[in-house]
């Protein structure tokens, strides 16, 4: 399958506050080859230094210092990657439920 034959796949991840949206999505991105192992290992080390070792996959999407320190998604998270069959765009909205459905 050539690049021009790939399907575009858009994914928006929603869920309750602190339900693990960023962590699950970051792990999915890693498992699909959207980010390399070395970067995940770097995030794991940095997260452990802040006492948040389990947040390594969330840090794929949570880039802001405040997000990483507080363990919440403050800004919308967007990630794009390719697989042999798909162009994938993943969006994770902000963490706080009062921002949804207003």
Contact 102, 23 (CB under 8 A): no
Q: What is the pLDDT of residue 16?
A: 85
Q: What is the pLDDT of residue 73?
A: 86
In the chain, beta strands by DSSP E: 7-12, 77-82, 86-92
- Total number of domains in the chain: 1
**3-state SS, residue 35:** coil
Q: Quick one: average pLDDT of 60-84?
A: 90
Beta strands 7-12; 86-92: pairing state: parallel
Mean predicted lDDT score pLDDT of the chain? 89
Q: What is the CATH number of the domain that holds 20?
A: 3.40.50.300
Has residue 3 got a pLDDT over 80? no
Has residue 102 got a pLDDT over 50? no
Contact 85, 1 (CB under 8 A): yes
Q: Quick one: average pLDDT of 16-30?
A: 92
This prediction has a pTM of 0.83
- What's the rounded Cα separation, in Å, for the pair 79 and 25? 10
Residue 22 structural domain? 3-99
């Amino acid at each position: 399958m050539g690049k021009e034959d790939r399907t575009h796949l858009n994914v928006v991840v929603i869920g309750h506050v602190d339900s693990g949206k960023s962590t699950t999505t970051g792990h999915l991105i890693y498992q699909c080859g959207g980010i390399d192992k070395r970067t995940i290992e770097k995030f794991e080390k940095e997260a452990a230094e802040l006492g948040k070792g389990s947040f390594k996959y969330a840090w794929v999407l949570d880039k802001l210092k405040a997000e990483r320190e507080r363990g919440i998604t403050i800004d919308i998270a967007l990630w794009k990657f390719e697989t042999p069959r798909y162009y994938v765009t993943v969006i994770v909205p902000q963490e706080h439920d009062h921002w949804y459905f207003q």
